[in-house]
Structures are given as structure tokens and as C-alpha cells.
Amino acid sequence: MCQNGKVILQLYEAFLKEIPLETYRKELMSVKTVEQDLPRALNPLSALYAKYWFDVDTPASDVQFLGYEDFFKEWWESHQTDIEEFRTKYFWGCTCEFVRLGFKARLYRTFISVLTQFHFCYSWRAYCEAPVVASADLDMKGIDACVHFRDKQVGLQVKKVTYRREAAGEGRFARRGLTVDYVVEVPYTIEKAEDCQSKKLKARSADTRRRYELFEWLASALQRRLDNGFVVFSRDYPRSIETLLAKIAMGDSMEQRYCAWQETMKLIRELKAT
């Protein structure tokens, strides 16, 4: 646990709750014109880490977070050559404003996702003992944070889960050649607990009912919402993951290298029940 880490977390939450989510939802939700794989030169992760992920020793007076308008303006102006090459390849004949709006919507979705995972990482630094490392390079390999726990390197993937079935994720981490000992998915949902409960009660199968029940518990026990609706993590969530990693490090919780989010939830619930 780190006192300065708690200060940075407080500043970060103050920033998050000022994001006008509803305004951006109305402006950008329906804009899905830039859906192609972005070349590395246009990947916004490096810029996001540079502007929003601060070292734990950073003085509070130096911790300042850009609003999305300023972030996007800076990113757009600094990537003109690569954007023009992308526009020529995929949007020949389209106006600059059309392409700009498409990029603004595309980057906004990444912006919100990355800010959410940063909240988990900032919460970890504030409330957990094990050191956490996060970087754009790790993120591009599918690891949102890396925790060195005893003699184990554990990669965490903070992911939004939905009602749709996901394909198994272990293979894609193996293909990226990661050097971590384990990968643990840390799920979150943007659904409200009461909506999950309603869908659980209307579910037609036991399997669907169990899935909705997991979402309801996740939304009510491990998350909270800021005044503007931004979903953040309770302080108990990273602590529970750290306790889970202690069991993993001792080799008594997981036989494989990959822990999918359903298993993460199952193990945390078991820990909280003891």
C-alpha cells in the first residue's frame, strides 16, 4: 500500500467523474466508420499511457489529466502524416472531417476502456502490497498489468464482459509469446446490478441464469459507479485478486497458465465465503 498512490487515485477519480459520458454517447456512439485494424503508428496506447498513467512517486502537483477533447486534438495534430496515408488507403474521396469524426469515435472507445483498466491499476497501487507494472508495450501484447508475486510473474487482463459468449482466450496469449507465468482475467461489467437481476429472473435456462447472477454479483460487490455513471472498482476488488494470486503462487488454485473471468469470479466468491 502506498500513501501517494492513494492521493493519485483520488485525483484520478475526480477526473473520471467529470467526463461527460452522456454527451459523448450521443455524439459518438453511432459513429463506426473507422473500424479497420490501425497500424502501429496510429495505435493510441502509447499516447494514453503517456498522458494518464503516472509513476507512483509523481508529486500530486504534477498529476494532471487531459480531457478527451484536448487529448484527441493533440493526438490528431501529431499524427497527420500517418492519418493521411490511412485516409488515402481506406477513405479516398472522403472529407477530412468525416475521417476525423471516425477517428474521434474510435479513439474514444479505446480511451474509456483504457481509463477503466487504469483505475484498477491505480487502485492496486493504493491498496495492495505487491508491485504492479503497466506499460503500452505490455498492453499491446494483451497484458494490462503485470504483478511480480513471489517468484511468479502474473499478467492481468482487465476486460469488459458481456452476455455474449466469448471464445477461449488462452491461445492468443500463447501466440504472443508472453513471458508471464500466469494470465488472470479481471472482469468488469457496465450493466447495472438491478438490470442483471431482472434478466436473471427472466432467464429461460439454468446456464443463462447463472451467468446473469455472476454479472449481478460483480456489479454489486466489486464495482461502483461515479456520479456521471463511470464504472470503477471497489477497493476490495484488487485486494481479492491479490489474495487469489497468493494462492496461485503457492500452486493450489490453478493448474493451467490461464484463468478466464468466470474462474476468477468463482475463486473470489469462494475466498469471500471463507
Q: Which amino acid is at 151?
A: D
The rounded mean pLDDT for the chain is 90
Ranges of each domain in the chain: 3-119, 130-273
DSSP string, 115-176: HHHHHHHHHHHHH-SS-EE--HHHHHTT-SEEEEETTEEEEEEEEE--SS-----HHHHHHT
CB 156 within 8 A of CB 145: yes
The pTM of the whole model exceeds 0.85: yes
Segment 71-83 mean pLDDT? 97
For residue 164, what pLDDT is reported? 65
171-202 per-position pLDDT tens digit:
444 445 567 888 999 999 999 999 999 999 98
Q: How confident is the model at residue 245 (pLDDT cuts 50, 70, 90)?
A: confident
For residue 166, what pLDDT is reported? 54
Coil vs helix vs strand at 212: helix
For residue 1, what pLDDT is reported? 64
Query: What sign for the dihedral angle of Cα 262, 232, 170, 239?
Result: negative
Q: How confident is the model at residue 167 (pLDDT cuts 50, 70, 90)?
A: very low
131-145 per-position pLDDT tens digit:
999 999 999 999 999
Distance between CA 35 and CA 33 in Å, rounded?
A: 6
Distance between CA 52 and CA 146 in Å, rounded?
A: 18
For residue 125, what pLDDT is reported? 96
Distance between CA 186 and CA 158 in Å, rounded?
A: 5
Q: How confident is the model at residue 248 (pLDDT cuts 50, 70, 90)?
A: confident
For residue 46, what pLDDT is reported? 97
The DSSP call for residue 60 is: G
Segment 237-258 mean pLDDT? 77
For residue 2, what pLDDT is reported? 75
What 140-143 contacts at long range (C-beta under 8 Å, 24+ apart), as own/partner pairs, is 140/43, 140/45, 141/176, 141/178, 142/172, 142/173, 142/176, 142/178, 142/183, 143/178, 143/180, 143/183
